[in-house]
Amino acid sequence: MERVISLSLGEVVLKGKNRKHFENKLIGQVKKSIADIGFKSVYKDMGKVYIAADYENFDQIIERVKHVFGIVYISPCIKINRDIEEIEEGVKLITKEALEDNPSIKTFKGVAKRADKNYPLVSMEINNRIGGAVLKNFPIKVDVHNPDLYIYCDIKKEAYLYTKRYKAYGGLPMGTNGRGLLLLSGGIDSPVAGFLMAKRGVQIDSVHFHSYPFTSERAEEKMFKLAEILSAFTGNMTIYSINLLPIQKEINKNCPEDEMTIISRRFMMRIAERLSEKNEYKSIITGENLGQVASQTIDGLTVTSAIPNRPVFRPLIGMDKVNIIDWAKKIGTYETSILPFEDCCTVFLPKHPSLRPRLKDIEKSEEPLDIEELVESAIANMKIIKVKEGEVQNEEE
């Protein structure tokens, strides 16, 4: 008998001929996530991935691999020979442990799955043997509809027995859908947007816009903290920190006040597009949500989307704010996001922003601006920050 951890995969198993590529990506990310804890092996067995490691490290390993996208459920198992008598002995062991953890358990159900259809017993027969082993040795009853305890038995090259299933985030392994550049502010929305696109297999880096000294250094520190939290899911992250204030001053001096926000947003997109060209990001990601603020009307989004030559992903576009907050709390960014430090969007904020901008009017308003010089200057003066293993480790000009 050996203690292992099983990882149930979600969409990965539907990938047909590309499945091996997705599985190998996921296994690589699992190994990387637990490298400092240590493990004996990570291997595949007929549709699932297994981690062999020291039993005393299981809790820590489970918490780590919950953050690896592509995994749906995580279960601590015992791995044994497929002989039915050995399975019955294993069932007695895991039932005993489950009752010690929770003495209030009164009912159970056996759930056998045969990945290897050549096994001589069918699932119903295995379930009957599981039930018999439990009923003979423990004072609990069968309940096939709403049991207190599920006893799982997976028949593969070996037999795996378990009673616990921890929910993970599912999705696709990171990097299987290219690289994306996230517009990361200090608010609630953008970290959630980054998380959701990473969950779809996009490798995330970020660009952050600030207006120092009109905004405080504490606002940038808040963004770094959000990036640290997010990196538990996304892995190492590069952040391009851009001072937007010189551009905002030029817009304020030369453009209509009611278009200040939308033109600033177009410059953010120009800079994100330029960084994407230089660094081979295939998409730009924002936390925009339809109708939430003036620049996020259909007309506003149309005008800003006219800038980049690559997809702009807006995973929050149709969400209610309550849904977004729920996600922020779930991934651990909410408490940091609500800290009261202003970001660049509050600088030169118009009293009555344009709600229905038209592209030709905005382009006309931008004519007095030296767009190329402003964009190049902003990028030339940016800071590049590396977030590695959940902390800001270095910073370079």
Place 214 in a pLDDT band, splitting at 50, 70 and 90: confident
**Which residues are CB-neighbours of 191 under 8 A, at least 6 positions away?**
184, 226, 229, 230, 287, 328, 331, 333, 337
Q: Please measure the distance between the N-terminal and C-terminal CA atoms of the chain and give it in whole angstroms.
A: 55
Domain ranges of the chain: 2-169, 179-396
Whether residue 100 has pLDDT greater than 70: yes
CATH topology of domain 2-169: VC0802-like (3.30.2130)
* Four-way CATH pick for 179-396: 1.10.238.10, 2.40.50.140, 3.40.50.720, 3.40.50.620: 3.40.50.620
Task: Note the pLDDT of residue 344.
Answer: 56
CA triple 349-350-356, angle to 5 deg: 120
The secondary structure of residue 172, as a DSSP letter, is B
Beta-carbon neighbour count of residue 122 at 10 Å?
12
Task: Note the pLDDT of residue 397.
Answer: 44
Cβ atoms of 119 and 99 within 8 Å: the answer is: no
Nearest-angstrom CA–CA distance, 23 and 172: 10
Nearest-angstrom CA–CA distance, 312 and 314: 6
pLDDT digits (tens, 9 = 90+) for 11-67: 877 777 788 889 999 999 999 999 999 999 999 998 899 999 999 999 999 999 999
Q: Which residue has the higher pLDDT, 224 or 149?
A: 149
Average pLDDT over residues 250-270: 94
Annotated binding site: 183-184, 208-209, 265, 287, 296
In the chain, at which residue ranges do the beta strands (DSSP E only) sit? Answer: 2-9, 41-45, 48-52, 71-80, 107-114, 141-142, 149-155, 159-162, 166-170, 179-183, 203-210, 237-243, 283-285, 312-313, 383-388, 391-396
pLDDT digits (tens, 9 = 90+) for 346-381: 666 667 777 788 999 999 999 999 999 999 999 999
pLDDT digits (tens, 9 = 90+) for 111-170: 999 999 999 999 999 999 999 999 999 999 999 999 999 999 999 999 999 999 999 999
Task: Note the pLDDT of residue 379.
Answer: 97
pLDDT digits (tens, 9 = 90+) for 266-287: 999 999 999 999 999 999 999 9
Annotated binding site for ATP: 183-184, 208-209, 265, 287, 296
Task: Note the pLDDT of residue 393.
Answer: 59
What pTM does this model have?
0.90
Nearest-angstrom CA–CA distance, 30 and 42: 8
The secondary structure of residue 317, as a DSSP letter, is T
Residue type, 159: A
What is the phi-psi region of residue 175: left when phi exceeds 0, alpha when psi lies from -120 to 50, beta otherwise? left
245-254 vs 371-380: helix crossing angle, rounded to 10:
160
Whether residue 182 has pLDDT greater than 80: yes
319 three-class SS: coil
Percentage of the chain modeled with pLDDT above 70: 95
